[in-house]
Amino acid sequence: MSMARRLWTGMFLAALVPGGAHAGFTVRTLAGTGVNGYSGDGIAANTAKVYSPMQIAYDTTGNLYIADFDNHRVRKVDATTGLISTVAGTGVAGYNGDGILATSAKLNAPTGVTFDPTGNMIITDQANHRVRKITTATGIITTIAGTGNGGYNGDGIAATSAWLWQPATVLFDAAGLMYIVDEWNSRVRKVDAGGLIHTIAGTGAGGFNGDGISATVATLDGPAVGAFDATGNLLVTDRNNHRVRKINMATGLISTVIGTGTATFNGDGLTGPATNMGFPTAVSFDRVGNLLVTDYGNNRVRVVNAGTGLVSTIVGSGAAGDSLDGTAALSVAVTAPLFVTVDPTGAVVYSAYNHRVRRLCQQSVSLFLSSTAQATQPGQPVTFTILVVNAGYDTLTNLLATDTLPASLGFTAQANTAGLTWNGSATVPSWSGGGLSLGPGQTVTITLDATATCLPANLSNTIYAVGGNSDGMDRQETALPMANSVPAPS
């Protein structure tokens, strides 16, 4: 077993009971068949073999990239065609130099793939102890950190002269500075604007010596993946300490946000510091600020609710194995989830050791509608204000709202914040999104004007909304009515 392999393997700990409140999701495979290996490029990604897919990332046009660890490649899944191709690596483990096309360059167990602020691809070439860049304009690969020597030779030197030791992943802050999760050195390191490298967390000694201290004197043990929160603090998976730690970038202090140091699953509905995590490998944020964590040893993907701080399971029953597409996300067998992110629509995507990259699909769209109306007297306008809220976990597309007016009202006009238009008859006007995407937590407000021809005791206005999720193949619909009574004027 190679050193790189030992990094990501370990005992799969038995789970106790499934938990979480994220019912209504199923899984669908984006890449992989569940069988390890390599079956070529130019075919549908969900029929192509991948082998221990690690980090996954999306470019600005929605193409998916996979660090295909044991195939020693970085693969691309085209957003339009769904076909898979190799963008870096030959499939032969090794290193044959820089300044060549990425497709001719050897990689050795790549674990990370991401993009820098200018759109160049950054690969964590783990067993080559390097961070490498593919310049988008030319396709040429170069080393931007590491010498190929595994170890540690100090800080305050050029990143290209610094030794790394099995670096796991790379990320960038809001200023465009690069951070390297240097796993086997048990450090998180930063490359400053001058190209010099510095340790910002970890001492180099594996272990745990507490929280509330400076991150530079805190010990980490196998840090793997980092992510910045909305306020610029850095969260990192402290894998062998069974924790996710936060580095406050203003104070430099470190704290635990999830994990007790014990790996065995102890249920959902607890706060982060009270929740056990088993070798968490990856952390990221969804589009509404919830924290996503791969609970590798417990065969689950967990989420920390941004509002309540409570932890729940979003993927996995706790059983290792493989399950068919269309299986409920909380019932699916997952062998050691490795990485989690969200796609450009906000849907959760994860990779796992059952040699698949999968996406969560929402079985039903959650729409909340509310409406208020002001009635005056016959011949005067009645205005309904309608709020459509995407309360789900996925982006909604092709929204359609239908408002059935009482017979005593005549349709006049509408206006809304999205600049859309109402269509239809005076009695059943309808609003079509026309390609509008409404992300999780986003709202659109519509005002509908009518003329009161004759006011009954109460006006009852029923609104229906229909929306599909972002994946046409998995489109589901819902219609939620809300009656709004308006007292007649005295």
Tens of pLDDT, residue by residue over 208-255, are 999 999 999 999 999 999 999 999 999 999 999 999 999 999 999 999
3-state secondary structure 119-139: CCEEEEEHHHCEEEEECCCCC
- Identity of the highest mean pLDDT range in 252-256, 364-368, 450-454: 252-256
Query: Between 12 and 298, whose confidence is greater?
Result: 298
pLDDT at 301 over 60: yes
User: Which residues, at least 6 apart from 490, have a Cβ–Cβ distance to it below 8 Å?
Assistant: none
Name the nearest CA neighbour of 426 among 467, 482, 382, 475: 382
Backbone φ/ψ region at 312: left (φ over 0), alpha (ψ -120 to 50), beta? beta
- The predicted structure's pLDDT at residue 287: 81
Q: Which of 116, 19, 22 is nearest to 347 (CA)?
A: 22
Q: How confident is the model at residue 328 (pLDDT cuts 50, 70, 90)?
A: confident
Strand ranges for 40-186 from DSSP E? 53-58, 64-68, 73-77, 84-88, 100-101, 110-115, 121-125, 130-134, 140-145, 169-172, 178-182
Tokens of 82: 């769904």
pLDDT (0 to 100) of residue 441: 62
Average pLDDT of the segment spanning 169-192 = 98
Return the ∠ at Cα 122 (arms to 119 and 123), rounded to 5°: 150
Confidence of residue 461 (pLDDT cuts 50, 70, 90): low
pLDDT value of position 25: 81
Contact 82, 473 (CB under 8 A): no
CA 384 to CA 409: how far, in whole Å?
12
pLDDT at position 288: 82
When pLDDT is cut at 50, 70 and 90, the band that residue 345 belongs to is confident
Please state, in angstroms and rounded to a whole number, the distance separating the CA atoms of residues 227 and 250: 16
Q: Mean pLDDT across the stretch 389-410?
A: 57
Query: What's the whole-number mean pLDDT along residues 404-423?
Result: 51
Gap between the Cα atoms of 424 and 362, Å rounded: 30
Q: Read off the pLDDT of residues 67-111 as tens digits, 9 standing for 90 and up.
A: 999 999 999 999 989 999 999 999 999 999 999 999 999 999 999
- Selected residue with higher pLDDT from 373 and 339: 339
Sign (positive or negative) of CA dihedral 101, 107, 113, 117: negative
Tokens of 420: 């859309």
Q: Reduced to 3 states, what is the DSSP secondary structure of residue 303? A: strand
The pLDDT of residue 344: 84
| Confidence (pLDDT) at 360 | 87
% of the chain surpassing 70 pLDDT: 69
- Predicted confidence (pLDDT) per residue in 53-75, tens digit: 999 999 999 999 999 999 999 99
Which pLDDT value is given to residue 411?
A: 55
Phi, psi of 60 (to 5 degrees): -70, -15
Average pLDDT (352-379) is: 67
Q: Across residues 361-374, what is the average pLDDT?
A: 52
Residue 119's pLDDT is 97
Q: What is residue 7's three-state secondary structure?
A: helix
Chain center to CA of 448: 37
pLDDT at 424: 42
Nearest alpha-carbon partner for 63 in 55, 75, 71, 54? 75
**For a pLDDT cut of 90, what percent of the chain falls above it?**
64
Amino acid 20: pLDDT: 35
Residue from 66, 45, 139 nearest 99 by CA: 139
Which pLDDT band holds residue 377 (cuts at 50, 70, 90)? low
Instruction: Tokens 């202090």: give the residue.
Output: 253
Helix (H, G, I), strand (E, B) or coil at 222: coil
**Burial of 272 (C-beta count, 10 Å sphere; 0-12/13-18/19+):** buried
Among the residues of 167-268, which ranges form H helices? none
Burial (Cβ within 10 Å: 0-12, 13-18, ≥19) of residue 140: middle
> Does residue 197 have a pLDDT over 80?
yes
The SS3 of residue 297 is helix
Task: Please report the pLDDT score of residue 471 as a whole number.
Answer: 41
